[in-house]
Amino acid sequence: MGEGFKLPVLNGLGKTNRIDNWWSQPLIMGIGLTITLIYTFWRLFIYDLDISYHLNGNTVVSPLFSPNILEWELFNLNEWAKTAPNWINAAILIIWIPFGFRGTCYYMRRVYYRSFFASPAACWVDEPQINKSLGYKGEKMLFIINNLHRYFLYAAIIILLIKWWDVTHTMHFNDGFGISIGTLVMAFEAFLLTMYVTSCHALRHLAGGVLDRWVSGISKLRGEMFRKISIINRSHGFWFWSSLIFVFLGDLWVLAVNKGYLSDVAIFVI
Ligand code: FES
């Protein structure tokens, strides 16, 4: 069945028999990714001020610049920061981890292959002639880096733990322990990132892959983890976008407080 039947039926970039708005999702996602790339470039290389603020002794750091390793005493990083070139900031030193993790994410690959390379543009939709001339080579050459996803996952888990640690820094006020709006912003960002990381396909494989059966002992436990991760893995795309968008909303919040457009307040202190 289907022998000799070649897809797509119509030839030429974007040509298709589909009658739905197949182009809207790749277009919107492509615009979204482009905006995030431009904004990140602006914040990292053009305007890297106002990356954190203090409210009555606590510290709230922009998600884009968290963890702010240039303030760490560990390895004398804070001392090194004083003599480092002006263009160095915490985000520039750390960005390769979230960038590598998201850039090699299985879901993200689907997005940018479609939005930026039209390879494929969508199911049943023809792709540009250049793709056909080059031919499909799988994830080789430049894209061979995608095979490093599981290693970026390990690094992302470390970053995630430090982000939760940063959340605790928003809770230490001069007169006690409490929660401010900044705490909620940073905690919500850390929560979304937690969901994104824990719904990762590579993490799911790490939990329950390779084994033939999950019957007893450790294998049973791994099977249980695999099933749990599988549930949130179904919404991996949602966690990808929500966690990404909130990095920038959190950064805008920190910028707005620094500029005086918005004010942080302590919700309670005990
Ligand atoms: Fe998307 Fe691992 S597959 S983060």
121 lines ligand 1 (CB under 6 A): no
Cis preceding linkage at 85, omega within 30:
no
Mean pLDDT of 1-9: 59
SS3 state of residue 16: strand
The atom of ligand 1 lying closest to the CA of 203 is: 2
The secondary element (H helix, E strand) that includes residue 231 is: helix 217-233
Gap between the Cα atoms of 160 and 94, Å rounded: 12
| Residue 159 · residue 67 · CB < 8 Å | yes
152 lines ligand 1 (CB under 6 A): no
- Residue 137: its pLDDT value, please? 75
Q: How many residues does the chain have?
A: 270
200 lines ligand 1 (CB under 6 A): yes
- Residue 209: its pLDDT value, please? 85
107 lines ligand 1 (CB under 6 A): yes
| Residue 246 · residue 194 · CB < 8 Å | no
Distance 142 CA to ligand 1 centre (A): 19
Span of 14-18, 47-51, 184-188 with lowest mean pLDDT: 14-18
- Residue 93: its pLDDT value, please? 93
- Residue with the bigger pLDDT between 16 and 138: it is 16
**Domain residue extents for the chain:** 24-199+235-269
Helices then strands, counting H and E runs in the chain, come out as 11, 5
pLDDT single digits (tens) 189-244:
999 999 999 999 999 999 988 877 888 888 999 999 999 999 999 999 999 999 99
pLDDT single digits (tens) 125-179:
888 888 888 877 777 777 889 999 999 999 999 999 999 999 999 999 998 999 9
> Which of these, 263, 267, 193, 268, lies nearest to 53 by C-alpha position?
263
The b/e string for 245-258 (b: 16+ C-beta within 10 A; e otherwise) is: ebbbebbbbbbebb
236 lines ligand 1 (CB under 6 A): yes
Mean pLDDT of 56-73: 91
Tokens standing for residue 138: 């799988």
The secondary element (H helix, E strand) that includes residue 203 is: helix 201-208
> Which of these, 233, 179, 72, lies nearest to 81 by C-alpha position?
72
